[in-house]
Amino acid sequence: MPVVRGKNIEPLFTAEQIRQRNLELAQDIIKGPCDDLLVISVLKGSFIFAADLIRALHDVGLAPEVEFITLSSYGTGTVSQGVKIIKDIDSDVKGRNILLIDDILESGRTLLFAKELMFERGAANVTIAVLLDKKVKRKEVFEADYVGFECPDYFVVGYGMDVAYAFRELPFVGVVTGDA
């Protein structure tokens, strides 16, 4: 089992599984609305997935523009939670086909917020690609259009995802199982 920062990390989805799945996702995405496509990576967690997925999009013949938005949730526990924009995109989305890319779909709040924001700004169409879907954590009626893997209800790290800023560099998705 890989040991990083003195912790055992049990791989859940390997680098090879993710690479293969990204190509399949790209093959699905190209069948959807992708004329003049603008891809928006929802930071921070999606940066590695987005980097790989947009290259898979190139491999299947798409040439999207790429943008970044940083979103953050606020409020915890019983306090009603919201989402705020930390850093916005620069592009005008009016009339365009948008693909939002995120790492994990959990409650659905982040991506529901992002999708509604794009429609309010006049996007013609908004689709969602996520690497992982934790369905049991959903709080909104919301589904992604493209899902890499169904994710069991563990806190996962790697492939861009962190716990307290650590483990983003792992080339696979895993679970911290304890001290090595």
Interface segment toward Mg ion; rule CB under 5 A; list 102-110, 115-123, 128-136, 165-173:
102-110
Identify which of residues 109 and 115 has a Cβ nearer to ligand IMP in the complex: 109
Interface segment toward Mg ion; rule CB under 5 A; list 2-10, 37-45, 121-129, 141-149:
37-45
The minimum distance between CB 157 and ligand IMP, in angstroms, equals 6
The minimum distance between CB 42 and Mg ion, in angstroms, equals 6
Q: How buried is 123 (Cβ within 10 angstroms: 0-12 exposed, 13-18 middle, 19+ buried)? A: buried
User: Is 45 one of the binding residues for Mg ion (CB under 5 A)?
Assistant: yes
Neighbours of 72 (CB within 10 A): 13
Provide DSSP, 53-111: HHHHHHHTT---EEEEEEEEEE--TTSPPEEEEEE---S--TT-EEEEEEEEESSSHHH
Q: Structure tokens of 44?
A: 């921070």
How far is the C-alpha of 91 from the C-alpha of 107, rounded, in Å? 27
State the binding string over 106-135 for Mg ion (x if CB under 5 A, else -): ------------------------------
Interface segment toward Mg ion; rule CB under 5 A; list 40-48, 61-69, 132-140, 147-155:
40-48
Considering CB distances under 5 to 8 angstroms, the limit depending on partner class, which of ligand IMP, Mg ion, none binds residue 161? ligand IMP
Interface segment toward Mg ion; rule CB under 5 A; list 88-96, 103-111, 132-140, 145-153:
103-111
Considering CB distances under 5 to 8 angstroms, the limit depending on partner class, which of Mg ion, ligand IMP, none binds residue 52? none
Neighbours of 157 (CB within 10 A): 24
Rg (Cα) of the chain, in Å, rounded? 16
Contacts of 164 (CB under 8 A, 6+ apart): none
**Residues forming the site for ligand IMP (CB under 6 A):** 45, 73, 102-110, 155-156, 161
User: Is 158 one of the binding residues for Mg ion (CB under 5 A)?
Assistant: no
